[in-house]
Structure 1
Amino acid sequence: AASVGGRLRQCLAKGGTWVLTLDVSASPSGGGTLTVVVAPPPEAAAAGEIPWEAELAVPEPGRAPGTDAPASADPAQALLAADEDTAVVLERLAEQEALVAFHREELHQTNQGVLALHAELDAAGRAQRTAFAAERRARKEAETARRRLTFLADASVVLNASLNLDEIVRRLPELLVPDHASRADVWLFDDEGEEAHPASHAAAAVRAARTGRPQYAAAHPGGLPGVDDQPPSALDPDRPLLCVPLLTRRAPLGVLTLSPPGERWAPDDAVMLIEFARRASIALDNARRFEHNRDIAETLQRALLTELPDIPRLSLAARYLPATHGLNIGGDWFDAFRGPDGSLITVVGDVTGHGLHAAVMMSQLRTALRAYAVDHSSPGRLLTRLHQFLHHLQPDLFATAVIARFHPGEPTLTWAAAGHPPPVLRLPDGRVRVLDAKPGAMLGIPLHQEIADHTEPLEPGSTLALYTDGLVERRARGIDPGIARLAAALGSFEPGELDADPESSADRLLSPLLSDSERDDDICLLLCHLHG
């Protein structure tokens, strides 16, 4: 009976529908045999499970085996009573099956959640990879744009650092080749905007000059923004050409023709090159206008300088050197002319500032001085009247000047200064004196002043140097060391050198004084040598 119960529990644990068959056979002695057959369900039988069979002895009716108690009249009831925990086992097995089904469903839901989470993570990974790729592209594009802007900024600095037209034209290819172009040609028109020798240039360059629009000449269209496509150049059909006009507000200056460093340009590179050409046009226009104005200024300056008179027994030599920066025109000036009494009046002056305004004011002062000298005024009186004239004519403009009068037949020099460096006098024996008597204040300042005259004995063989501060003043050392250097240079001449050639003497005097000059100011020198 115990083995039958165990077998039944195994069947219940396996699940499915098991067929239990009980067969009782009686014996003559009053007992019998119980045959138990347990048949597996069809699926188990198909898997090789065979029926299980067992035989049990049935005790005599009314008695249980080994006891005096009456036996059950029903053998099945007796068999099931032999294993009382079968029902409990079945109940627990049902509970376990329910629990297993619950966990199976829970596991299924968990698996579904895990699958959904994996799908979300995969989508998030794809989105992240897409974002990283977009960020890398954006960074690369930003870096490329930064390099283009840096190139344009650096190129603007280089192009605008000079006002020399030839130097700017020379620098244009240096800025472009080889990073942005394999070749760069600059075609400049003349000052009237005329196209010089158009036949020697590509047809696209000629079209760019005449239409004012960039042209791209190649076998295949370039698709560049703001650029017209043209057939390849007959002069060089295998080389793509980008022809950009150099435009200004007044007239086109020329055409910049470029060849790509590779097969072709990217659209953004073409936009950068067109902007580069625009900035180059501004620099070229500024340089051309500057050179034009400089030529006018130098012509005006030379026209305003005086031709020195021929005076018996007195040699004059003058030098005017414009500043090397700016328009090369300033307010430094010299003059020498005869007075009504036959005396020689020499003057060196300096109007503050540079440019055409200073030059015009210098011309007016020179004219006023000659007019005032008609009434035999002394140098101090002439400067006083010039002070009043300038103060009323141009209250915001000032000037310095020194005037020296040489009297015919008299060994005397009369001079006066207004805010100007002192004259330097070389005596016949080679000694040099700086005539540093107290000068007047600058001309034109809002101050009433009467500028005094000074006299100095003048022996034959003496030399007087009048000059402006540009000759002796240095920013780091002031003006006094420069005056001392001028005096030493003037004293270094041999006695006969100044008599023989005053012009060469003027050049020799300037040479040591200009060796350390930055030439940021005009320089004026007037030598007056009285022959022995």
Structure 2
Amino acid sequence: MMRTWRISTVTDAARARIAVARLAAACGVTTPDRTRLVTDLGARLRQCLTKNGTWQLTFQVPASDSDEKLLHLILSPDREASAAGEPPWHISVACLGTGQPPDGDPADDDVPDDPAVLAEALLDADEETALALERLAGQERLVAFHQERLRQTNQGVLALHTELDAAGRAQHEAFAAERKARTEAEDARRRLTFLADASASLTASLDYEEIVRRLPELLIPRYADSVDIWLFDQEDDRHRSAPRPAAAVLAARTERPQYAADHPGGLPGVDDQPPSALSPGRPLLCIPLLARRASLGVLTLSPPGERWAPDDAVMLIELTRRAGVALDHARRFEHNRDIAETLQRALLTELPTMPGLALAARYLPATHGLNIGGDWYDAFRQADGSLITVVGDVTGHGLHAAVMMSQLRTALRAYAADGGSPGRLLTRLHAFLHHLQPDLYATAVIARFRPGDPTLTWAVAGHPPPVLRLPDGRVQVLDAKPGAMLGIPLHQEIGDHTLRLAPGSTLVLYTDGLVERRTQGLDPGIARLSTALGTFDSAELETDLEGSADRLLAPLLSDSERDDDVCLLLSHLTGTTGLPSVRPPSEAASLPHP
């Protein structure tokens, strides 16, 4: 549909403007678009009226069945203006509604000629403009409100970002602090682990020289580049002539750690000193090796890098203190061991000689402790010419056990001087020990050989049984009923046992250290001893009893670690002459003691 107006006067322009506004409203053009359309048209019409002439305004509406939804408004000049180059003016506006303008002749105007009606129409157009402007103002206020809300939201977002940034920095600092704390804790754990392992390694040994050798091996290269140990008790001409750093001498005099370098060390508990003239370009840490009563020496270290961390220095000072204690223990142990070995050598019996009877003895101290215990062996003659052989064991180790063993050995010899069978001697020894040391116990086995008499008499008090090898190679365990341990609070009379021996027989007396092991009892060890003894040849025992004693110990002591002393006494009746005949004894040795 199309409407057309010819405009040559202001009234024509007003009527056309009003008509266009009404038609646009009828076609469903929105108020803002309609206002812009009428405003633009009014401005264009004012320009046209200033140029005079007649202008044609065309209003085109799309058909209802058309897909096009645009209204077209065309303002064309007359011929003279068009010939003068004036172009037509065109504007389009969206038509959203479904309404259609009323049908009619385009030449018929919808606006009457009455000035009052025209003015009313113009006023209505202005009201629509005012309404549109009011709506636009409302939209502007709404836009301003949303802009303010958006501004506030942006400020909130910026504040949130600021808080997030601060939280991120705080979290990063917390993570860094946690990593630092974890690293410090791990370093502290490594230091403590090293200190514990190194201390265990140093205190595990009681060998003075071995501790001195282990200390540099533990420190190099982890905590020191070089280690020098200055021990005062090892000073000789060679050591005394060797120059020592001034800081080491000062540490020896003051018994305080000293740090010698061209820069302050900042190490806790350590005094700073000028660099050493012997090593001016290398820092030195000199730590005294302190014992209970005096300083044993000075440990001088050079760092593996430029310097030590304070915590490393604290750990090194503590390790040196523990090394000093370990060296002091080792020195005291070696001193006591020398005393014990001297006492042990004094207590070992020189075996007597007797025609027809060969003796061989071995004593091996335990590999732990003071190398001295309560095991002993003895062999001596009685007044009637009989030979007493004895092996005993006092409970415990150390000097106290050795002293008690010496007292028992002396008491036994004193009792044997009055005569008496092995059982009688053990009975008297039991009473002596019970009254002398009620809380100390002992075991013993005594065997007696009479000249001219092939009868062996023996008695046992809580001790492993004797083992006898017969001339034909068979082995017997003499496990006849023994007495109880010596010194227990029990009255007992220990009986004798007798057995006739043939020339070539070998009797073995021993202590439990030879046959007993931690995971086994005595019986398996006695069985091993019997087996080993049965492998010997009679000629070997006859000609080399000393070597036979060593070869008998070898398979039974294959392990290098022994927790107990070992005592062995071999008595071999020679197979040629036998025991010599002497005056008959006054006491019948073959009868058991009542």
**TM-score of the aligned structures, taking structure 1 as reference length:** 0.82
Matched, 1:167 2:210: yes
1:529 aligns with 572
1:275 aligns with 2:318: yes
Partner in structure 2 of residue 52 of structure 1: none
Equivalenced residue count is 485
Distance 1:478 1:434 in 2: 16
Cα deviation, residue 484, structure 1: 4.0
Q: Distance in 1 between matches of 2:349 and 2:538?
A: 28
Q: Which residue, out of 316, 337, 348, partners 2:359?
A: 316
Q: Which residue does 1:127 correspond to in 2?
A: 170
Q: What is the CA distance between 1:313 and its match in structure 2?
A: 4.2
Of 379, 397, 413, 1:336 maps to: 379
- 1:193-208 alignment, distance < 5 Å: 197=240, 199-208=242-251
* In 2: Cα distance, 1:107 partner to 1:262 partner: 61
Shift of 1:340: 2.7
The one of 274, 286, 295 aligned to 2:338? 295
| 1:11 Cα offset (Å) | 12
Alignment of 1:429-440 (within 5 A): 430-440=473-483
In structure 2, what is the Cα distance between the partners aligned to 1:222 and 1:427? Answer: 79
Distance across 2 between alignment mates of 1:492 and 1:269:
61
In structure 2, which of residues 401, 404, 415 is the aligned counterpart of residue 358 of structure 1?
Answer: 401
Partner of 2:219: 176
2:516 is the alignment partner of 1:473:
yes
SS in 2 for 1:320: strand
Is the Cα contact below 8 Å between 2:284 and 2:302 reproduced in 1?
yes
Tell me how large the CA RMSD over aligned residues is.
3.4
Residues 499-524 of structure 1 show CA distances to partners (whole Å, capped at 9, x for unaligned) of 54443343333333333564221111
Matched, 1:216 2:259: yes
> Hey, what does 1:451 align to over in structure 2?
494
Q: Aligned runs of 1:395-414 on 2, under 5 Å?
A: 395-414=438-457
Question: How many angstroms apart in 1 are the aligned matches of 2:125 and 2:250?
Answer: 118
SS at match of 1:404: strand
Instruction: Look up the match of 1:117.
Output: 160
Once the two structures are TM-superposed, the CA of residue 401 in structure 1 deviates from its matched residue by 0.4
Matches of 1:133 and 1:409, distance apart in 2: 96
**Aligned AA (2:404):** M
Check 1:3–1:471 CA distance in 2 against 1; reply closer, same or farther (3 A cut). same
Deviations 1:63-90 (A, max 9, x none): x997475x349x9777435544233233
Say if 1:13 and 1:465 are closer, same or farther in 2 by CA, change over 3 A. farther
One-letter code aligned to 2:260: A
One-letter amino acid matched to 1:214: P
Say yes or no: does 1:305 pair with 2:348.
Answer: yes
Amino acid paired to 1:264: R
AA matched with 1:391: H
The 2-side partners of 1:13 and 1:457 are apart by 154
Cα separation, 2, equivalents of 1:471 and 1:294: 22
Match of 2:415 among 372, 377, 395: 372
Match of 2:149, as an amino acid? Answer: E
Q: CA deviation at 1:415?
A: 1.3
Identify if the C-alpha distance between structure 1 residues 12 and 312 changes in structure 2 by more than 3 Å, giving closer, same or farther.
farther
Q: How many Å apart are 1:493 and its aligned residue?
A: 4.7
Residues 291 and 195 of structure 1, relative CA distance in 2, 3 Å threshold:
farther
Name the CA distance, whole Å, in 2 between partners of 1:339 and 1:66.
Answer: 169
Q: What does residue 245 of structure 1 align with?
A: 288
Taking a change above 3 Å as real, the CA distance of residues 462 and 72 of structure 1, as seen in their structure-2 partners, is closer
TM-superposed deviation, 1:102: 2.3
Q: Secondary structure at the match of 1:306?
A: coil
User: 1 CA distance for matches of 2:314 and 2:150?
Assistant: 63
* Residue 324 (structure 1) shift: 0.9
Equivalent residue letter for 1:180: Y
In structure 1, how many angstroms separate the alpha carbons of the residues matched to 2:323 and 2:522?
Answer: 41
Alpha carbons of 1:92 and 1:395: their partners in 2 closer, same or farther (altered >3 Å)?
A: same
Query: What letter is aligned with 1:353?
Result: G
Q: Provide the rounded CA distance (Å) in 2 between the counterparts of 1:431 and 1:84.
A: 145
Q: Say if 2:187 is the partner of 1:140.
A: no
- SS of the aligned residue for 1:323 comes to coil
**Aligned mates of 2:226, 2:482 — CA distance in 1:** 63
> What is the distance in 2 between the residues matched to 1:494 and 1:95?
131
Give, in whole Å, the separation in 1 of the partners of 2:309 and 2:499: 79
Residue 419, structure 1, aligned to residue 477, structure 2? no
Closer/same/farther in 2, CA of residues 96 and 253 from structure 1, 3 Å limit: same
Equivalent AA in structure 2 for residue 215 of structure 1 = Q
Residue by residue over 1:224-263, the C-alpha shift from the partner in whole angstroms, topping out at 9 and shown as x without a partner, is 1111122222222222211111111121122221111111
In 2, distance between residues paired with 1:486 and 1:414? 22
Q: Deviations over 1:52-73 (max 9, x none)?
A: xxxxxxxxxxxx997475x349
Describe the SS at the equivalent of 2:230: strand
Q: How does 1:38-57 map to 2 (within 5 A)?
A: none
2:299 is paired with a residue of what secondary structure?
A: strand
- Aligned mates of 1:385, 1:168 — CA distance in 2: 48
Of 83, 106, 130, the match for 1:87: 130
- Measure how far apart 1:217 and its partner are: 1.5
Corresponding position of 1:50: none
User: How far apart are residue 432 of structure 1 and its match?
Assistant: 4.0
What is the rounded CA distance, in whole Å, between the counterparts of 2:536 and 2:137 in structure 1? Answer: 136
Q: Distance in 2 between matches of 1:267 and 1:191?
A: 31
User: SS of 2:485's equivalent?
Assistant: coil
What SS does structure 1 have at the residue aligned with 2:453? coil
Identity of aligned residues (%): 76
2: CA distance, partners of 1:89 / 1:429: 142
Give the residue type in structure 1 aligned to 2:449.
F
Q: Aligned partners of 2:111 and 2:547: how far apart in 1?
A: 162
Q: Which amino acid aligns with 1:251?
A: A
Distance 1:13 1:187, change over 3 A: farther
Compared with structure 1, are the counterparts of its residues 67 and 473 closer, same or farther at alpha carbon in structure 2 (3 Å cutoff)?
Answer: closer
State the 1:116 CA deviation.
1.6
Cα pair distance change 1:310/1:136, threshold 3 Å: same
**CA drift at 1:322:** 0.4
Gap regions ≥5 residues in structure 2: 1-13, 22-32, 51-108, 578-594
Q: Which residue of 1 aligns with 2:553?
A: 510
Corresponding residue of 2:106: none
- How big is the shift at 1:381? 1.0
**Per-residue Cα deviation, 1:150-175 (whole angstroms, up to 9, x for no partner):** 11122122222222222222221121
Match of 2:309 in 1: 266
Residues 103-123 of structure 1: CA distance to partner in whole angstroms, max 9, x if unpaired? 232222222222222221221
- The reply to whether residue 228 of structure 1 matches residue 280 of structure 2 is no
Aligned to 1:35: none
Q: Is the 8 A contact 1:467 1:523 kept in 2?
A: yes
Distance in 2, Cα, partners of 1:271 & 1:481 = 53
Other structure's SS at 1:174 match? helix
CA distance, structure 1, for counterparts of residue 197 and residue 39 of structure 2 = 89
How far is the alpha carbon of 1:94 from its aligned partner?
Answer: 3.2
Check the 8 A contact 2:289/2:297 in 1, yes or no: yes
Distance in 2, matches of 1:366 and 1:464, equals: 21
